[in-house]
Structure 1
Amino acid sequence: MNIHQVLFFCFLSVLNDRNTGIHGEMMIPKTEGEDFRHSIKVGRPESTIIYLCRNNCTKEDILIEALGNRATTGKYIIRYDEKLFVTIKQLTLSDAGWYRFGVANSSSQGSYMDFEIRIKERCKVILGEPGVYSIPEGGNITIRCPLTAAELNSKFLCRKQCQQVIIETNNVKARQDRYSIEYGNSTFFNVSITQLTKSDSGQYRCGVGRQMTENTCWDFEITVTNGSVIPLAVSLNAVVLLAVFLLFLYKWKIIPKCLKSRGTSTGRSEQHDGTGQQHALYDNNYPAFVVEEAPYETVDPPASYQILNQSHAVYDHIYSAITTPT
């Protein structure tokens, strides 16, 4: 036993023998897996010790004590900052019982508080058949918990038979790191986990905490498999690109056949103007449409037309005779 514990037992002897300086006592209901936190307003003269013990505060019942302003031992934390603060982390059913924390010295009565922690089992009632889910590494998952709950009921997600509470809330929505809870209606709420890794594989429970009745829970298992998840935006882009490619392939197959069947050119032609220059003409690969002329009958010209034509022939002949060099 060190000097701190010797002083501590002296202080406790003064308190127990004189049974004075009691600041109060209280009963505190908690749920398995929660943290216990409490504080009392006490003065602290010099050379006093702060402590937390349980049951009768015998040697075996000392949980934590300190001459300084702060101490941590396992799941127990005690500190002094104008008030005396005490914390017990991750309560289990075995943590139920009576406790005392306070300030004491050998020359004064000291001040302390007695309190009882009553711990309700996190998941007393397990409902329904367990769910089983498999998802690739890197993916996200949202699971509907089929439990009756009111908006203000405590809703939670836990692991290791609820020895490890991941997230808990009394609100309609809550988020903590990769985990979130969203209230649906009186018959269900959703729990979500994002960016799954292999370490996320295992057993889970979602549950509803109740004040007057037992908590209810539902079990499910997640298996994170090898592989990667393609983001939705990438998937949509891939679908669009595939559609464009298929459309291009369709046109590439159909249009040449159409052009060939209609006797069109290759899409480029050349024409000559009066200067002897060539001009390239492009039709942008649009299919050429051939307009066929309607058939017509040959009609013999009238007699007057034939006579006029003959007179022109005479004049042409005369014109030729005049221009002929002698």
Structure 2
Amino acid sequence: MTVCPTLICFFFLSLQDGNSGLAKAQIFIYTGTEGEDIRVKCSSSQSGNTKFFCKNECKQGDLLIETSDVTAQSGRYGMEYETSKLKTNVSVSISQLTRSDSGLYRCGLGRPLSAASYTDFRIRVVDALQDGNSGLAKAQILIYTGTEGEDIRVTCPFPSSGSTKVFCKNDCKEKDLLIETSNVTAQSGRYRIKYEELHPGADVSVSISQLTKSDSGWYSCGLNGSTMSYGHFRITVVDALLTGNPPEVKIFHKTSGDNVVVACNFSVYGDNRLYFCKERCEDKDILVETSDLSAQRDRYSIEYVGRSPSEVFVYVTISQLTRSDSGLYRCGLERPFSPDHYHEFRINVTDGEFHVENEYYYLCL
């Protein structure tokens, strides 16, 4: 069975206050079973002569197809190029999937290491889909990462106009409804929705002010035209987004029972082993590690999300902190034949507030 999933909704992030701390990451994940065929369409507003299809870091040994022809085939890998007035499509395919086909891929225009336009995606090959369905399943993850106190605004474009606008969380059941309105704008506490009719189509912009940890989760923005259509995204609120090479180690002051969530940004691409460790990061200090997209071990978890070499994020979490959790931590990527990429941070955990009533003040430790 060969299927060609297409992207329906795109989301664009803008910050209400101009704060640059908010980051967006995205990856497309295709899950199929062994023996199936996969076909992925990489769309671009540009045109080009050279087309490529590669895996992992797109180095010489990772190149599957590079051609200036309209079609090309190399073993189980295929490519087809088509153009229109508005866009060009590079369609790539893999026949007879095997478990070894799981991994990160890129298709696009230009040279693999200096591409003018490209799309990254991940393929996961499993023995069977959990829901028992046949055929290829596609998931699009759009994750917006921000720190507490920031504002977020997400715009969901729709192909046609509508009357009822919806902003909701989780499964969008009645208890998850944040705003439902037929007005052009509406506000409910920290949540806001704005509708703009375009020609053609319409935009529904939703926003949350003063982010808190409890805002982390899945959201949907909807518009009721001839039918109800939804766009979906996820927000992750972290204690800090670690990027670059800061001169000092970030320190978090927490109390017992708190959670800590840290996003680590790396400018790398390809399959890597993720790890989260403490102090000297010897074998006994490894808290959780994996070569998959995510993993959890007791109170510790790690997750990988990326889109391009400048948008790779590793999220690490410790829940229900105790005083013994105080110490130095590292979130990192272990890469074969090259130095690790990692960020370090320190956590100081205390029992909480100490009140000295006779002195008319209190001290938070």
The alignment's TM-score, normalised by the length of structure 1, stands at: 0.32
Task: Give 1 or 2: higher helix fraction.
Answer: 1
Q: Between Structure 1 and Structure 2, whose CA radius of gyration is higher?
A: 1
Greater strand fraction, Structure 1 or Structure 2: 2
TM-score, normalization by structure 2: 0.28
